[in-house]
Amino acid sequence: MTEFRYKDAFSANGPEPAARFTGLPKYNFVYGHNDPAQVPTEALAEAAARAIRENGARLAMYHLGDGPQGYRPLRDFVARKLGATRGISCTADDVVLTSGSLQGMDLVNATFLDAGDTAILEDFTYGGAIGKLQRLGVEVIGAPLDSDGIRMDALETILKDLAGRGVTPKFIYTIPTVQNPTGSVMPLARRRQLLALSAEYGVPIIEDECYTDLAWEEGQPPALYALDPSRVVHIGSFSKSLAPALRVGYVVGGWDVLSRVLARKTDAGSPAIEQMVIAEYFGATFDQHVASLKAALRRKLDVMVESLEREFGTSAELFVPKGGIFLWLKLPDHVDVRTFAQSALDQGVAFNPGPEWACDPDAAKSYMRLCFALPAEHMIREGVAELARICFEHTGVPERRGNVQQTS
Amino acid sequence: MTEFRYKDAFSANGPEPAARFTGLPKYNFVYGHNDPAQVPTEALAEAAARAIRENGARLAMYHLGDGPQGYRPLRDFVARKLGATRGISCTADDVVLTSGSLQGMDLVNATFLDAGDTAILEDFTYGGAIGKLQRLGVEVIGAPLDSDGIRMDALETILKDLAGRGVTPKFIYTIPTVQNPTGSVMPLARRRQLLALSAEYGVPIIEDECYTDLAWEEGQPPALYALDPSRVVHIGSFSKSLAPALRVGYVVGGWDVLSRVLARKTDAGSPAIEQMVIAEYFGATFDQHVASLKAALRRKLDVMVESLEREFGTSAELFVPKGGIFLWLKLPDHVDVRTFAQSALDQGVAFNPGPEWACDPDAAKSYMRLCFALPAEHMIREGVAELARICFEHTGVPERRGNVQQTS
């Protein structure tokens, strides 16, 4: 390994250098991995072969010749899917395909935000969203949640306070359907209240629906964008409904928004083969695939809930999610999960500490997020048992595991 | 189409909103499109199906479980290819796979640059590179070229002048092998001089080799990175050697560089299926594919040169490239190609005006870049004839086409 001579030339700003990847943890409850057994490899292989045979020559053209909004058949599918499942009336013209919903968020952030701006997020929310805004120099304000999503009384107080200080937040970022990390779904009445507050205070809404397709029950409330496209930008993804290593998401909005998003999309296009494969596979099998994936995820959630109840008893308050791949839980107030996260990782158990998923990290010190989608069921059981053992060693919690009093 | 209500909320900075895509021009000589007939659709279809059958379950994990540097078999292939073709000694650990070489450039720029920094580029160079640096608030200085790449006397003068003003440029960005747009190849002796100047003035080199695989002749001089990895960051791509709609490139460098590149790569991974397909296909057929692609491109280049000579005669000075997909040409000094670029586009003929590929736009006003890879041979002939007709209408050049004096 050669040493680079010009370390002085590196930017003085920016994040700490990354550490070397040293392999995956044995009990892997972090990030948004999914269930390997649910990747439809044979059907995807056939879809890929068909799509490339039919349209592969178009790979010689940027954007497959369909322009910077992305592969037209996939945009058509997104519009159909959003009509059928989210109540959204749109066409391929209203869709920009992105490299995962993360790029969608980056482009939307760049469209709206300058350093010094203010944005409102849910107080527990996707850690990546918080980090992106902080890196842009944006002031992040967390709106309190209950089991139905953002509390409207609290949001109104925040908006009123900001207005009193002459501040108009640039947007409210929300994950209304299968919230990350809490797994809640915002009911229709509250969605209407949110839109009313948006209108009253003149604040747009960025709606991140990347987990919506994995809501357990049919008949979820319509997307905010469906209720009022003039106030909302809609972001979605195929990373959750198909596979996270695929990097294809989408932004849906009016042309005044999309034209600014596209002006900032200087990547010469999002992955073309992945767009082709998703259009080919999901064009025929979306409902069936998602139903089967959800059934598998619910089984794993059941195993995780059962394991946590056995290992942690009443020490862990579980926020059983209405869909998705995460379980959010709270340990007693005196527990700070940061005190044993690294030790757990060293012993092969990886979880996401609550503080990484919170606008106010200290307020989430007793919380953790567990992804239940990747490990096999016996690994969920073993991993939760290991987690309880390590947690007890560091915090004295849980005092009882199963029916057995713990001793240190 | 719904109007978005909150135009006031948009960032005050940033680029102009994009225009709607209205289809491809009839005679398309712009961008880095490639030859649709040379996309190996059947072999790619088979490779995709094989790769997904074998490794598809790993799509359930971010980065296919191989960590943020990307799919291990493709990193292994990159290391092998760079050893065999560019004289570079490296391993998979020294490679970060990116979403096209454009993302590689963005990440490398972010690793080195802050607003107010200075960078040296070739005076005619990739327009996207100039734009990226300008958007970062970096002062761009163009180093003059001759038919062997950067002129070392001129570069030394620039470095000396900057040193006299107390300025150390953050890097020298160069496309040494099949330069864009001029198509030159920097000889070995000059590469050594460049590295000596890098050492003398303490300035790193960013080497963009995205067209190298398309150099006509075997036995090109080794990459700058091969000659001294301690001073160079190497960027490459599969967009040119396979297909531009595929978004997979790579950055090769020491860990102190790569650890900073990775810290800024917050996209949750580059396209996984594309990495798998490229590894599977190129693992077996790289040499053969590239040889066949180059033969097809050289035939198209011949057609373009012949058409330009017929239509423009001595009015056009052609810089016949040593590889790649572009021809750079110069019209007489009094011609400003910007005066007819839009009119040509309106009439179905798209070319890249020289000023967009120049650090000093006015200095390139009589130049244009033509991509010859996409259009069929008869379309090259027709398109060049149209171009000559339109150019004559606006500028009186060329005075003669074929053996016929033009009249307006």
Rounded to whole angstroms, what are the CA distances from B392 to A13, A259, B298, B401? 52, 35, 28, 10
Please state whether the peptide bond connecting residue B398 to the residue before it is cis, i.e. omega within 30 degrees of 0. yes
What top-level class would CATH report for the domain A41-285?
alpha beta
Q: What is the mean pLDDT of residues A162-186?
A: 98
CB A254 within 8 A of CB A229: yes
| pLDDT for A405 | 79
Tell if the CB–CB gap between A61 and B245 is shorter than 8 Å.
yes
Other Cβ atoms closer than 10 A to A393: 14
* Residues of chain A with C-beta less than 8 angstroms from the C-beta of B2: 229-230, 254
For B303-353, strand residue ranges (E) read 317-319, 326-330, 349-350, 352-353
pLDDT band, residue B403 (cuts 50/70/90): low
Biggest CA-to-CA distance, chain B: 67
Tell if the CB–CB gap between B57 and A37 is shorter than 8 Å.
yes
CATH of domain B23-39+288-405: 3.90.1150.10
Q: What would the pLDDT profile of B97-115 be if each residue is shown by its tens digit?
A: 999 999 999 999 999 999 9
Nearest residue, CB atoms, A3 vs list B62, B68, B254:
B254
* Residues of chain A with C-beta less than 8 angstroms from the C-beta of B259: 17-20
| pLDDT for A1 | 63
* Residues of chain B with C-beta less than 8 angstroms from the C-beta of A168: 9
| pLDDT for B13 | 87
The 8-class DSSP code of residue A205 comes to E
Instruction: Residue A272: name the closest of A43, A47, A51 by CA.
Output: A51
Q: How far apart are CA B102 and CA B244, in angstroms?
A: 11
Torsion B176-B177-B183-B188 (CA) sign: positive
* Percentage of chain B lying above the pLDDT 90 cut: 96
* Residues of chain B with C-beta less than 8 angstroms from the C-beta of A69: 21
Tell if the CB–CB gap between A60 and B274 is shorter than 8 Å.
no
Tell if the CB–CB gap between A111 and B10 is shorter than 8 Å.
yes
* Residues of chain A with C-beta less than 8 angstroms from the C-beta of B68: 18, 21
ipTM above 0.85, yes or no: yes
Q: How far apart are CA B34 and CA A272, in angstroms?
A: 15
* Residues of chain B with C-beta less than 8 angstroms from the C-beta of A94: 1
In SS3 terms, A101-125 reads as HHHHHHHHHHHHCCCCCEEEEECEC
For A288, residues 6+ apart whose C-beta sits below 8 A from its C-beta are none
Domain boundaries, chain B: 23-39+288-405, 41-286
Nearest residue, CB atoms, A18 vs list B242, B263, B373:
B263
pLDDT band, residue B404 (cuts 50/70/90): confident
Nearest residue, CB atoms, B45 vs list A24, A52, A168:
A52
Q: What would the pLDDT profile of B187-228 be if each residue is shown by its tens digit?
A: 999 999 999 999 999 999 999 999 999 999 999 999 999 999
* Percentage of chain B lying above the pLDDT 70 cut: 99
Biggest CA-to-CA distance, chain A: 67
Q: What would the pLDDT profile of B342-362 be if each residue is shown by its tens digit?
A: 999 999 999 999 999 999 999
* Residues of chain A with C-beta less than 8 angstroms from the C-beta of B18: 68, 259-260, 262-263
* Mutation choice for B interface testing from A6, A173, A277 by most B CBs within 10 A: A6
| pLDDT for A408 | 58
pLDDT band, residue B406 (cuts 50/70/90): confident
Range with lowest mean pLDDT among A145-154, A189-198, B6-15: B6-15
Q: How far apart are CA B353 and CA B337, in angstroms?
A: 6
Q: What would the pLDDT profile of A210-236 be if each residue is shown by its tens digit?
A: 999 999 999 999 999 999 999 999 999
Q: What would the pLDDT profile of B144-157 be if each residue is shown by its tens digit?
A: 999 999 999 999 99
The string over B304-336, giving b where at least 16 C-beta atoms fall within 10 Å of a residue's C-beta and e elsewhere, is bbebbeebbbebbebbebbbbbbbbbbbeeebb
Q: What would the pLDDT profile of A254-306 be if each residue is shown by its tens digit?
A: 999 999 999 999 999 999 999 999 999 999 999 999 999 999 999 999 999 99
* Mutation choice for B interface testing from A62, A66, A126 by most B CBs within 10 A: A62
Nearest residue, CB atoms, A114 vs list B3, B13, B33:
B13
Tell if the CB–CB gap between B33 and A268 is shorter than 8 Å.
no
CATH of domain B41-286: 3.40.640.10
Tell if the CB–CB gap between B19 and A110 is shorter than 8 Å.
no
Look up the CATH architecture of domain A23-39+288-393.
Alpha-Beta Complex (3.90)
| pLDDT for B2 | 77
Cβ-Cβ contacts under 8 Å between A and B: the total is: 331
Q: What would the pLDDT profile of B279-324 be if each residue is shown by its tens digit?
A: 999 999 999 999 999 999 999 999 999 999 999 999 999 999 999 9
The torsion defined by the Cα of B147, B149, B152 and B155, in degrees rounded to 10, comes to 120
For the record, the structure tokens of B184 come out as 């030159």
CB B238 within 8 A of CB B98: no
| pLDDT for B240 | 95
DSSP β-ladder status, B352-353 and B367-371: antiparallel
